[in-house]
Amino acid sequence: MLTEEARRWASRPFDDFVFDVGRRDIQKFAHAIGETNPIHFDPMGARAAGHRDVVAPFSLPYVIRMHASHMIPRDELAPDGSATADVPPVEATRAMAGETSIEMGVPVVAGDVIALAKRVSDITEKEGRSGKMVFVTMEFVFTNQDGDTVARESFTRIYR
């Protein structure tokens, strides 16, 4: 399953994705996940808590990562509408999530410009009970306009 083409794919660079975080982005996301803390909605409340503006719930970087995968031209999508930039060229009929770990850094605040850098940190083939599988581990590093790390995520997808 793990061909030379797939190995070459794993070593290619990915473009950074830049996301301008607006106050409304934070407020909509906080509403969507049922967050009620005023620091996510009220600039005065956020400032009283020591922030320069409203603060995003800690899981907003995941939303930024999903935007990065899906904010692409329609002709770059698979026939089913899914993004394919992170999918290695392996002969697999199934993909499933493996392990995810996230290390949090400084909070995301309205007005931040978040740069998302991604790379393949590992790609391996293993033999399982149902046959060969390919494990692709991606590393995502989110930094703000000041160069501070917002989050670092490692995500493994399993193809079989």
- Give the residue from 88, 80, 78, 67 showing the smallest Cα distance to 19: 67
DSSP 3-state of 35: coil
7-46 pLDDT, tens per residue?
Answer: 887 878 888 999 999 999 999 999 999 999 999 999 999 9
Count other C-beta atoms under 10 Å from residue 61's C-beta.
23
- Token pair 């703000």 in the structure block, residue: 144
Fold for 4-159, please state it.
Answer: Thiol Ester Dehydrase; Chain A (3.10.129)
81-125 pLDDT, tens per residue?
Answer: 777 777 788 888 788 999 999 999 999 999 999 999 999 999 999
User: How far is residue 37's CA from residue 54's CA, in Å, rounded to a whole number?
Assistant: 10
Q: What is the DSSP letter of 89?
A: S
* Per-residue model confidence (pLDDT) at position 15: 87
Per DSSP, helices labelled H in the chain are 4-11, 23-32, 43-48, 60-70
DSSP 3-state of 158: strand
